[in-house]
Amino acid sequence: MSTELTQALWAVIATVLASACTGLWQYYRLRHRIAYRIQLNIPISIVRDGPGGAVRLRPPGTGPSDGSPGESASLVLLRIENVGFQELRTEDIEHALYVRFPGRTLIHVEPVEVERDVLLDTLRRPPGLHATGERLPIPRFAMKRKDHFKLLMLLDGPHGSDIRLNGHIGGGDIVRGHARLERAKAFRNSALLLTLGLGFLAGYVAAPRTSSPASAAACPSGPLTVTGSTAFEPVLDRAVSSYRSACPRAAKIKVELDGSAAGTRSVTSSARIAFSDTRLPGDESGLTGAPVAVTVFRVVVNRSAKIDNLTLAQLRDLYAGRIRNWSALGGADLPVRLVGRNGDSGSRQIFESKVLADHPEPPTNSGDCRTADRGLSTPTIRCERPTTGELLTAVDTTPGAVGYADAGAAASTAHGNTLAVPLDHVTPTLDALKSGRYPYWSVEYAYTRGRPPAGSPAAAFLDHLAGPHGAAAITAAGNYPCDPGARGLCG
């Protein structure tokens, strides 16, 4: 057989086997699938019987008998169903599910049509179903095939914003609408392609080829939890995705981001990595930190303020309550609304240190970022949000709001009413960071319990993050890798 014919034959074999493997992988990958549908989303009016009193529902546009308008609200019915072809286990939910309802807050939620008592017990087990800002976390649950449950929610706020179910299902996905997986057809096509390839498989196995033990070493099996900074989420989303693509069978990564401080406190074993916007004190017992990136932060304002630049002095006056209306800075005649993060946030710690000159943000005195609802003497309205995404949503939907976020999240087109402004007319280029002209940045550290053992999932993921895929993820999020180009910044 000629060399050309042999090469053509092996090309055919490789094509058939690749097609067969692709079909089988698709079948394997979608073994778990959650579908959700919004079955009801209607505007209603709510009437409260005084502060802390009972809530009564009325048809849209109607109010109390005294003629005052009722508060706008919505009644929403969300159906969640297991439409995969395997039972869903709690450990299959790698990133906890949550319902997002931007611009609205939850008044009450009740699980209905729960087909199994054990599932109902899971949903009601303390702390139960409680909203955090504009999202409702759902406890990890197990669900039989074709089982479903519904959440009946009463939401406060303007009707019409989109409602979505988010999270990450291992070996599957979350889809919206009527989802039916054509399992028999997928298996039949995969089996047909595989049968065609089996005729050539013996020759393929017998053919001499070079093994690559390094590939197996680069993809060790075992669980890994990535936690810490929500500001680093755009980078981690890309890096975890590329790592899963490179190691589809070995990668068992959970992403649980809840702030830099909370993340580092949770590192109790070598199976956890916490990413922090700030460096821990040198005497922090047992944790080993390594710089991975220069994280750039931006100050963001709602476009209604009519502000396109802020100086450090102006920001310090805003957060000290000395400036309370944007008109004092040449902007719109709108009151200033401060949107911040909680004390576990590295973004907040860096903001207080480098922008506010080590002065703390004022205390929180508002839940909705618009009106004061707590007995504090703070002159300016200030609210807090637990994650970077929720902070940006609050700034985007609150006239006169100002806050801060990492550069990647701040550049998202999902927040069209939000503008990232220069500081003292300087934007965060690498030269501006090196020269000190742009102060709002930090070094992102990866913390582990001691040095990760060679061949462990933690070591493999950190190696991946330090390679070209990690550098691409860091750069795409508006940050800078700790490479020779950032010499002098990463320490």
> Which of 309-323, 361-375, 477-491 tops mean pLDDT?
309-323
Distance separating alpha carbons of residues 481 and 471, to the nearest angstrom: 6
Least-confidence region, from 77-86, 186-195, 253-262, 308-317: 186-195
CB environment 366-386: b (16+ within 10 A), e (fewer): beebbebeeeeebebbbbbbb
Average pLDDT of the residues in 411-426 = 91
pLDDT surpasses 80 at 200: no
What 3-state class would DSSP assign to 483? Answer: coil
Q: List pLDDT tens digits, range 67-119.
A: 444 467 889 999 999 988 888 898 888 888 999 988 888 989 999 988 788 78
Question: Is there a contact between 96 and 89 (Cβ–Cβ < 8 Å)?
Answer: no
Q: List pLDDT tens digits, range 207-249.
A: 443 333 335 557 888 899 999 998 899 899 999 999 998 888 8
Distance separating alpha carbons of residues 12 and 6, to the nearest angstrom: 10
Average pLDDT of the residues in 355-372 = 93
